[in-house]
């Protein structure tokens, strides 16, 4: 059975002629049936909603899944919040958001929706993508990553229509919609070097984000927060800053990873963190996986300390990007 609050909202908005509210209630109902694996019923409801669309409405019609092919990459999330090394404030804010979605029925009974628009900013490798995936895992929804190579067309008119297709496709399913490098599509509209068409695309993008129902959790990540349009900051309900990996953070991460995988390094986590002082969390995971891979290949008699030392030396000799003048 569908939730009573959705049915009441559907009838009230329909009777009152509020097309946008009706659309949102119907989309939430379809998303709930999709989450329950009631695919046939969800498809019938989606078809009915598409046929009902008011020609004068500014809301885009629903898009069938095949129309969004190439725009999204879907993965089954596996990361957990407990796997991540996060500042206390970031961990608490994320836990609060997850609780809101777990207890959304209670919030909705009081006429309040859970927050669902999140901005993550921080240097490369600080864990933005991992945190977005962990949110999807904890809320138990698919993790959808926007594919810019499919979204951004040769002509800006194509980009706008693909944006419509993308957002229309995700509106009727609970998910985490992840925009990596969000500044690539949401740059400051006051930039005099950008064309009017690009500014219209940014305006369309922000309007689409505004209209998404709360069962779609939008996570936007950027390494260059200063490039984002100022309206992005106003629209994001949760704004979190992920810092560069610290020595203490690396030690904590290595200990947690070793406990989770059962892989012993044969050297103290402090020693490894000191030897890898310039790496990010993402690179630290690559290093740990290098050690694990070598241990597997060398067999049961392998010396973890010797292998870790060997990998540390290899990482010390890795090619580094040239500094720019």
Q: What distance lies between CA 184 and its chain's CA centroid? A: 15
Question: Rounded distance, CA 36 to CA 30, Å?
Answer: 10
How high does pLDDT run on average in the chain?
Answer: 83
Question: Span 270-295, mean pLDDT?
Answer: 95
According to the CATH classification, is domain 67-241 in 3.40.50.300?
yes
Indicate the burial class of 287 (C-beta count within 10 angstroms; 0-12, 13-18, 19 or more). buried
Q: Write the pLDDT tens digit of every residue in 110-124.
A: 889 999 999 999 999
**What is the residue-wise DSSP string for 235-251?**
H-SEEEEPPPPPHHHHH
DSSP, res 150 = H
pLDDT in tens, 214-223: 999 999 999 9
Angle CA 232–119–213, to nearest 5: 80
Closest CA to 73 of 23, 146, 123: 146
Whether residue 37 has pLDDT greater than 60: yes
DSSP 8-state code for residue 58:
-
Measured in degrees and rounded to the nearest 5, phi and psi for residue 52 equal -75, -20
Cα–chain-centroid distance for residue 108?
23
Per-residue pLDDT at 197 exceeds 90: no
pLDDT value, residue 158: 75
Residue 268: pLDDT above 70?
A: yes
The total of other beta-carbon atoms located within 10 Å of residue 322's CB is 6
pLDDT value of position 156: 57
Number of residues that make up the chain: 325
């Amino acid at each position: 059975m569908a939730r009573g609050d959705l049915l009441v909202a559907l009838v009230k908005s329909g009777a009152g002629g509020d097309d946008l509210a009706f659309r949102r209630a119907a989309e939430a109902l379809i998303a709930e049936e999709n989450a329950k694996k009631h695919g046939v019923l969800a498809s019938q409801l989606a078809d009915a909603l598409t046929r009902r669309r008011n020609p004068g409405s500014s809301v885009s019609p629903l898009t069938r899944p095949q129309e969004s092919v190439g725009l999204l990459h879907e993965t089954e999330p596996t990361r957990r919040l407990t796997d991540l090394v996060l500042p206390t404030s970031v961990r608490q804010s994320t836990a609060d958001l997850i609780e809101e979605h777990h207890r959304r029925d209670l919030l909705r009974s009081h006429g309040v929706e859970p927050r669902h628009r999140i901005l993550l900013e921080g240097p490369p490798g600080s864990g933005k993508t991992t945190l977005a995936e962990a949110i999807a895992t904890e809320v138990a929804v698919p993790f959808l990553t926007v594919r810019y190579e499919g979204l951004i067309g040769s002509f800006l008119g194509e980009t706008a229509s693909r944006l419509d297709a993308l957002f229309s496709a995700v509106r009727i399913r609970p998910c985490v919609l992840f925009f990596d490098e969000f500044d690539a599509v949401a740059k400051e509209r006051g930039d005099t070097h950008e064309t009017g068409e690009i500014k219209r695309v940014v305006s369309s993008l922000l309007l689409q984000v505004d209209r998404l129902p709360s069962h779609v959790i939008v996570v936007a990540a950027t390494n260059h927060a200063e490039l984002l349009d100022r309206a992005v900051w106003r629209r994001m309900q949760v704004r979190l800053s992920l810092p560069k990996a610290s020595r203490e953070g690396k030690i904590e991460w290595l200990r947690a990873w070793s406990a989770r995988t059962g892989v012993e390094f044969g050297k103290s986590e402090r020693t490894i963190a000191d030897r890898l002082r310039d790496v990010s969390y993402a690179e630290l995971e690559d290093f740990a996986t290098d050690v694990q891979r070598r241990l597997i290949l060398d067999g049961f008699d392998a010396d973890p300390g010797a292998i870790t030392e060997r990998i540390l030396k290899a990482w010390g000799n890795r090619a580094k990007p040239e500094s720019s003048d």
